[in-house]
Amino acid sequence: MSTQRQRPVRVIPDALDPQQTVEIEKRWLPRGGVLAILAGLLPLIGIILEIGVSRDRPDDAGQVVSVADAITRYAAGDQGQGLHGIQAGVAAVYGDHAASLIGSALLNGLGALLLAPLLYGLLRSAYRRRPSFPTWFQWLPVVGAVVFGIGGTAALVYDAIQRQDFSNLPIAAQTNTAATDALNASRDDLTGLVLLGSFGQMFVAVGIGAAALSAMNVGLLTRVMGIVGVMIAVFTVLPIVQGAPFLRSFWLVALGLILLGRWPGGRPPAWDGGVPRPWPTRAQQIEAAERAREAKASAAAAESQPAPTPKSSGSRKKRRK
């Protein structure tokens, strides 16, 4: 007799009634579309603000001199910036534009918070048609978006305030050493928030990938939108692509237009039917194309055959000898 304990079998619930699904989502689709567009545009505006601040910082590469030039300048009495180096200049510029940095952080945080109801609603729509994952999983992106939005925003705002305090120091006190000390102190203070924000960002990435994949599998999103959503989830955790934030903004705006029915081609049919309508696989597409070619060839062959000659209605009788 086996002593191994058997795992309990998880009972998969039935899909929701299609008519009830359509009625529920009819009220959610307009809100979901607006949430998606705002979640895509607000961080984009924040990135533009941050880029504008970065343009005013000193060009450290343009101020690099060779050893020979440095010795020549020192002999001539020109000691350059001295203690007021590039790092102090960058910290001072960011401190002077602290309001823009705080605004950028708030926009990014608000965009992250808007992902919570959006991803939850998209996962719920997929779950109503095909309940293939546990219900608790739907709350994972909600927790991640809230943690990432609040933690990340608090860290960025605190860092901007620290830089502003540095820029308010007397010019004589704005040295590289003071800038380094302020930066290290800010990093030490933000260790917990940065770690919390990293976990939230990971949960958001999992939520984006799961929502895009689940919606694609039941026909709520096209294959292109589903694949791009999974790519965005990967790029959120592994920032290997420099333009990943712009790609995410475009994807979210496109998702919003789909939910609002403003995307070219309208919403996929699965939204109006309330039932899963998965897209055909590559093998099914090839098989359908082959059947279409065979049917077309058969029709062409039938048209090319000559029409049969009609038989004579009368028949001659043979004479008897």
Distant-in-sequence, close-in-space partners of 157: CB < 8 Å, separation ≥ 6:
102, 105, 106
317 lies in some domain: no
pLDDT band for position 7 (50/70/90)? low
What is the model's pLDDT at position 135? 86
What is the model's pLDDT at position 284? 73
CA atoms within 13 A of residue 210's CA, in its CB half-sphere: 24
What is the model's pLDDT at position 103? 94
Helix 98-129 vs helix 18-54: crossing angle, to nearest 10? 160
- Encode pLDDT of 238-252 as tens digits: 888 888 899 999 999
Residue 32, SS3 per DSSP: helix
Question: Is residue 167 pLDDT above 90, yes or no?
Answer: no
Q: What is the residue type of 30? A: P
Domains contained in the chain, number: 1
- Encode pLDDT of 32-79 as tens digits: 999 999 999 999 999 999 888 887 665 554 444 444 554 454 455 444
Q: Euclidean distance between the first and final Cα of the chain, in Å?
A: 98
> How does DSSP classify residue 60?
T
Q: How far apart are CA 61 and CA 65, in angstroms?
A: 9
Handedness of CA 246, 252, 255, 261 (dihedral sign): negative
- Its domain, for residue 41, covers 18-62+71-273
Q: How far apart are CA 321 and CA 319, in angstroms?
A: 6
1 lies in some domain: no
Q: Are 149 and 117 in contact (CB under 8 A)?
A: no
Cα 253 to Cα 29, 44, 247: the distances in Å are 14, 11, 10
- Look up tokens 């939520």; give the residue: 207
What is the model's pLDDT at position 282? 74
Question: Is residue 100 pLDDT above 80, yes or no?
Answer: yes
- Look up tokens 């919390």; give the residue: 196
312 lies in some domain: no
Average pLDDT over the chain, rounded to an integer: 81
81 lies in some domain: yes
What is the model's pLDDT at position 88? 73
Q: How far apart are CA 291 and CA 297, in angstroms?
A: 10
User: Which comes out higher in pLDDT, residue 11 or 276?
Assistant: 276
Q: What is the dihedral of CA 84, 88, 89, 93, to 10 degrees?
A: -150
Question: Is residue 81 pLDDT above 70, yes or no?
Answer: no
Q: How far apart are CA 131 and CA 123, in angstroms?
A: 10
185 lies in some domain: yes
210 lies in some domain: yes
Nearest alpha carbon to residue 110 among 138, 140, 152, 141: 152
Nearest alpha carbon to residue 128 among 270, 311, 296: 270
Averaged pLDDT for residues 214-222: 94
Q: Are 127 and 210 in contact (CB under 8 A)?
A: no
- Look up tokens 């608090």; give the residue: 154
12 lies in some domain: no
283 lies in some domain: no
Q: Label residue 78 exposed, middle or buried (CB < 10 Å: 0-12, 13-18, 19+).
A: exposed
